Structure 1
């Protein structure tokens, strides 16, 4: 399968991918529109729909691509997603004339990516953050308790906390260094001021499609039909604020000041060729978490830091989505087992994705062992993030001559407010 749009070999956005996002263009500055990425272009789905090129019954009669977000499309469910994907792959293929030979429509619908502003693609009603990497969990135990023994409940259920949806921002948004309390020194009052231990967290996040009614759980083997796709996530963390506040109720101000996601949602259908076996779970999960097919995805992940005042960025982490112990389908099934109702556009993060080697650790807390050693970044070094530092996360699946990628998820730290 090839596209009539020239796609560079290194591009994340091949015709095999077609991730969804929402953008603004100078031509329609006041009207955010859904689109898909193809090579260096964004395909305006509202123009394609208005031109009558969606012939399938589920999309042709819907106004989901004339909305300012993707929530209505998410609500339609997997049959509609598959219908839209099949139509778009056909329209963009090299042997289909409907768009390729229509110069007027191409000019309106195919927009250079560097001319558009990407926005949050969904309205996020609720956000949940999981804790699903065994390697990260063990390292946190070693750092804070001096033991890599993991609490028994961690192997029985996907641990999570309810996050703050209002502070989720799109890639490229600056992050203001948070202020808060830190551990007191001796008999002194707690420290209050700008966080001294600001960190990134390498995560991904699943985007919920059709939800469930209150009181009616989703079966783990049906859970994939309720997940539209996945984005990159940086769940920024103020480690000093978090360490002082988290007992007994868990994260609060140390996390809620900002979470960054990538603009493009890569669908589970696009990721399917890169499915791989999930880790063997011991003990065997309870029946409601026991999947007939338990799978992760082979998504290579990388974190680079561009230190303040420098032109170059430096790779600090190389990890992979397949390091997760609990799958995203298990996470969703567990989330609803008590009857909790999910809604289209809800988001749940995987938690920090760390691998077994030090170069695959997913945050500075692990990379610098809570600031006890420095991380070299060219001519400088870091224990935690400093003002002006930029963190860039990328993720990509490597196919046979093509990529299915996520682009980047980036944010720069700016000084705390006075």
Structure 2
């Protein structure tokens, strides 16, 4: 999928895009935004601007498959666009790269369709019908398992099956929307009976989100060698977790109220084409680990099914704000630490005939690295609250407190290619009602 749109020398007439940390011309992610006083519509992030896709379509700047894609993406949600699949999506990317390039003969017409991003409101990019959260970060699974089962942290099925559970789609919100601390049942270790109240052990989870593109019919599995064709794009995902509520409720059926209160995603859909330079071989499994079962095995996926993406978690507290201090970095991890690939997640999800639909969202599960500087949750970073994080403001954090803001970022970097990012995934915690 590498072509001229990935050329690191390619520049845009949108000056802020050249060298932009997230949105150079080599990225071109899609989203839904409202200009000041306007209605939601689709757009393309380019530097510190947003290209109004319906306005660009109305200006007659697309034809062929690119026009088909622009028409499908011209509404207030991108579900119809996601359903089209790779061909039209790639044609749209190629045409957008031409239109926004330095020296574009259509520059005057395109400039008339640009909005200042800081003056716009971002929305969920698609109508999310279903949301499934996986558990493919093996370091996270091991770290959490050690807190409960020191001698046997990973359950026997982990290395055979991509574990997942169905989450709540209705409570997913875009970056910037505050998160209300949930209430629920929890049973303190020293208590005889559970109590009901605000969560005292609120946590973040550093994840990638995977947008489903074309779906599959009910009863029709997705083969592993076809699974990548069902990916519509990627985002960042913070699957907030109330650990005290979770510890009491998760047996025997798994997470419920401890997860369903809110999940936060970054607002832009980064396409598979934009991430093509950052594809890498699936990491070699440790010696002694079982090989995936045959339905999860594909040589092409093994060679290029993983992603080399730097993942970062930052914390901004009331104390840091009051002293004018920058956010504190809690973790720096990488998507290469996923034990299962996205294609394996999709194939397993549909292996029983479950029908995935355009706009469905999959979470990877928390992606931690191998040490304490790369933990994707504060549960891991503080060893269950035993070792607090000490901040420059003098504050300490064992778990998240009201007024804290968690910021997730992602970057793709590779020598010979322009770095790209996802835009921030951030939210501030409000007190429980």
TM bucket (normalised to shorter chain) is over 0.9
Structure 1: distance between partners of 2:211 and 2:176: 20
* Alignment partner, residue 391 of structure 1: 406
Aligned to 2:203: 199
Is residue 2:326 matched to residue 1:318?
no
| Contact 1:302–1:395 (CA under 8 A) maintained in structure 2 | yes
Separation in 1 of the partners of 2:148 and 2:246?
Answer: 12
Deviations 1:41-77 (A, max 9, x none): 1001101111111112463487313210100100111
Per the TM alignment, residue 188 of structure 1 is displaced from its structure 2 partner at its CA by 3.3
**Mapped contact 1:217–1:340 kept (Cα < 8 A):** yes
Q: TM-score, normalised by structure 2?
A: 0.92
- Mark the CA change 1:9 to 1:335 in structure 2 (over 3 Å): closer, same or farther: same
Alignment deviations for residues 111-149 of structure 1 (CA, whole Å, 9 cap, x no partner): 111111000001000000000011111111111122354
User: Distance in 2 between the 1:139 and 1:224 partners?
Assistant: 30
Find 1:172's aligned residue among 169, 176, 182: 176
The one of 106, 110, 113 aligned to 2:111 = 106
For the pair 1:77 / 2:91, whether they are aligned, the reply is no
The alignment status of 1:305 with 2:315, answered yes or no, reads yes
Q: 1:13 aligns with which of 20, 23, 26?
A: 23
Is 2:202 the partner of 1:228? no
**Distance across 1 between alignment mates of 2:412 and 2:385:** 32
State the distance in 2 between where 1:47 and 1:376 align: 49
* Corresponding residue of 1:151: 155
Aligned to 2:368: 354
Q: Alignment partner of 1:135: what SS?
A: helix
Gaps of 5+ in 2: 1-9
Aligned partner of residue 299 in structure 2, secondary structure: coil
Matched, 1:51 2:62: no
Q: Which residue of 2 aligns with 1:161?
A: 165
Q: Please identify, of 307-316 and 204-213, the stretch whose mean Cα deviation from structure 2 is larger.
A: 307-316
TM-score, reference length from structure 1: 0.95
Q: Name 1:22's counterpart in structure 2.
A: 32
Query: Is the CA contact (8 Å cut-off) linking 2:222 and 2:347 kept in structure 1?
Result: yes
- Paired position in structure 1 for 2:12: 3
Secondary structure of the residue that 1:267 maps to in structure 2? coil
Aligned match of 2:7: none
Q: Do the aligned partners of 2:312 and 2:332 also contact (CA within 8 Å) in 1?
A: yes
C-alpha deviation, 1:376, in angstroms:
1.1
Task: Work out the CA distance in 2 between the residues paired with 1:367 and 1:196.
Answer: 17
Conserved? CA contact 1:307–1:377, under 8 Å: no
Contact 2:319 2:395 in 1 (8 A): no
* Corresponding position of 2:389: 375
Flag the 1:33–1:298 CA change in 2: closer, same or farther, 3 A: same
SS at match of 1:125: coil
Q: State how 1:324-343 maps to structure 2 within 5 Å.
A: 324-343=338-357
Q: 1:269 — aligned with what?
A: 273
In the alignment, structure 1 segments of 5+ residues that lack a partner are: none
Aligned to 1:123: 127
Which residue number in structure 2 is paired with residue 278 of structure 1? Answer: 282
Runs of 4+ in 1 over 6 A off after TM superposition: none
The two structures, once aligned, show a CA RMSD in angstroms of: 1.5
